[in-house]
Amino acid sequence: MKVYEMVFHKGTYEQTNMFYTVNSQDSRKHFVEQIRLELDSEFNEFKRNCTSPDKAALLSLFKAIHQESRLHVDSMAKDFIQNSEAVFDRYICLDVKEHDIINFK
Task: Report the pLDDT value the prediction gives residue 32, as an integer from 0 to 100.
Answer: 98
The predicted pLDDT at position 93 comes to 96
Beta-sheet pairing, 93-100 with 85-87: antiparallel
At what angle are helices 55-83 and 25-49 packed, to 10 degrees?
180
Q: For residue 38, what pLDDT is reported? A: 95
pLDDT attached to residue 61: 93
Q: Give backbone dihedrals phi and psi of 80, rounded to 5 degrees, phi first.
A: -65, -45
- Would you list the domain boundaries of the chain? 2-100
Who wins on pLDDT, 101 or 80?
80
pLDDT in tens, 4-63: 999 999 988 899 999 999 999 999 999 999 999 999 999 999 999 988 899 899 999 999
Alpha helices, H only, the chain: 25-49, 55-83
